């Protein structure tokens, strides 16, 4: 008789793991995902990537606004799952749920725990200029991302890696190892090791206003912000009261006044060195390569951006 799994996830990051499980011999009894959200411009409801994937796989879906209700508790007890796999679900799971599956709740977290517990581990790692990150496969306990860890897989972060690129890499790694991890758990070959809680750091949720570039920072730190906030919410500055998002840039050796446009290629001065923009977007417009952006841009060398 196949083991019964419940899967919980929401964003694209979760999809490769769900699809790998669906192709395996394990039975996915149900998929939990966040309920559809209204789009920013209008009333259209947008289903999560996991919802779309689960529908394509003809899986049972539940998307309560609040997981921690008596109704969901009753449902899980009736299903009697052997294990619950959580990948970026987006809701906290209360203690009364954790003992229902015989093998507990297992989480695939996008950091090398105990570093970067919380909602935005990939973004925070890049913005912090970390040179490595990875995934941690852990048991969920009451405290956020503090449970014992079974497996860690590390990857390097290059200076050009965005949070979108790292997310894609880590989601594939999670999907690669999930079947091996489940086999070890069900065969009781797994070993969970307690985290060093004294070394824990926290990756708080990204706020939109964090995207504003501070040109008083080093060029390296600004590149970390640009890459860490790509694809969401984007790093930006204002010039002549118009907002511009920088999607791709690199460090340039030219020096000059902080925040000033230093030459005809729209190089912008930082605390040290400067930023060479490769891809930029004016608010309300499409992303453009810098050479195309400059065709319609009226600016003066020495002007200061904010």
| Mean pLDDT value across residues 259-271 | 97
What is the reported pLDDT for 37? Answer: 83
> What angle is formed at CA 58 by the lines to CA 57 and CA 60, rounded to 5 degrees?
115
**CATH code given to domain 208-295:** 3.10.25.10
Question: Quick one: pLDDT band at residue 25, thresholds 50, 70, 90?
Answer: very high
Residue with tokens 């906030």: 229
pTM: 0.95
Dihedral, CA of residue 148, residue 151, residue 145 and residue 155, to nearest 10: 150
Given this model, what pLDDT does residue 38 score?
76
Backbone angles phi, psi at 4, to 5 degrees: -100, 130
Q: How far apart are the first and last CA of the chain?
A: 63
Both structure tokens of 4: 């019964």
When mean pLDDT is compared across 4-18, 41-55, 152-166, the lowest value belongs to 41-55
* Domains of the chain by residue range: 4-203, 208-295
- The mean pLDDT value for 165-176 works out to 98
Share of the chain above pLDDT 90, in %: 94
The residues near 248 (Cβ < 8 Å, ≥ 6 apart) are: 226, 230, 277, 278, 279
pLDDT value of position 1: 64
Phi, psi at 206, each rounded to 5°: -75, 130
Query: How much is the pLDDT for 2?
Result: 83
Instruction: Please compute the mean of the pLDDT values over residues 239-265 and round it to a whole number.
Output: 97
- Those residues whose C-beta lies under 8 Å from the C-beta of residue 44, and which sit 6 or more positions away, are 38
Q: Crossing angle for the helix pair 163-186 and 15-23, nearest 10 degrees? A: 30
Q: Rounded CA gap, 5 and 27, in Å?
A: 6
Band of pLDDT at residue 303, cut at 50, 70 and 90? very high
Confidence of residue 116 (pLDDT cuts 50, 70, 90): very high
Chain segment 189-231, per-residue pLDDT in tens: 989 999 999 999 999 999 989 999 999 999 999 999 999 999 9
Asked if 4-203 and 208-295 have one fold, the answer is no
Answer yes or no: is pLDDT of 110 > 90.
yes
Percent of the chain with pLDDT over 70: 98
In this predicted structure, what is the pLDDT of residue 83? 98
Domain 4-203 has CATH 3.40.718.10: no
Helix (H, G, I), strand (E, B) or coil at 101: coil
């Amino acid at each position: 008789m196949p083991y019964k799994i419940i899967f919980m996830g929401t964003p694209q990051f979760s999809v490769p793991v769900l699809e790998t499980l669906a192709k395996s011999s394990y039975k996915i009894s149900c998929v939990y995902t966040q309920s559809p959200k209204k789009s920013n411009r209008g009333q259209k409801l947008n289903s999560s990537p996991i919802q779309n994937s689960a529908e394509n796989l003809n899986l049972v879906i539940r998307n309560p606004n609040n997981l921690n209700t008596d109704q969901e508790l009753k449902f899980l007890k009736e299903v009697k799952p052997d294990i619950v796999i959580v990948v970026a679900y987006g809701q906290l799971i209360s203690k009364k749920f954790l003992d229902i599956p015989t093998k507990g709740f297992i989480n695939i977290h996008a950091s090398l725990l105990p570093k970067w517990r919380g909602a935005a581990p990939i973004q925070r790692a890049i913005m912090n200029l970390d040179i490595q990150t990875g995934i941690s496969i852990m048991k969920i306990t009451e405290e956020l991302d503090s449970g014992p860890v079974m497996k860690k897989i590390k990857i390097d972060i290059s200076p050009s890696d965005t949070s979108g690129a790292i997310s894609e890499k880590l989601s594939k790694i999670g999907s690669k190892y999930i079947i091996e991890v489940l086999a070890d758990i069900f065969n009781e070959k797994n070993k969970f090791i307690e985290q060093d809680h004294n070394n824990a750091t926290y990756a708080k949720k990204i706020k939109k206003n964090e995207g504003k570039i501070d040109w008083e920072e080093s060029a390296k730190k600004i590149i970390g912000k640009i890459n860490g906030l790509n694809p969401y919410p984007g790093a930006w500055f204002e010039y002549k009261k118009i907002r511009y998002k920088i999607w791709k840039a690199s460090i340039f050796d030219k020096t000059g006044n902080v925040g000033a446009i230093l030459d005809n290629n729209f190089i912008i001065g930082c605390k040290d060195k400067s930023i060479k923009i490769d891809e930029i977007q004016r608010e309300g417009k499409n992303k453009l390569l810098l050479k195309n952006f400059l065709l319609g841009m009226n600016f003066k060398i020495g002007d200061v951006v904010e």
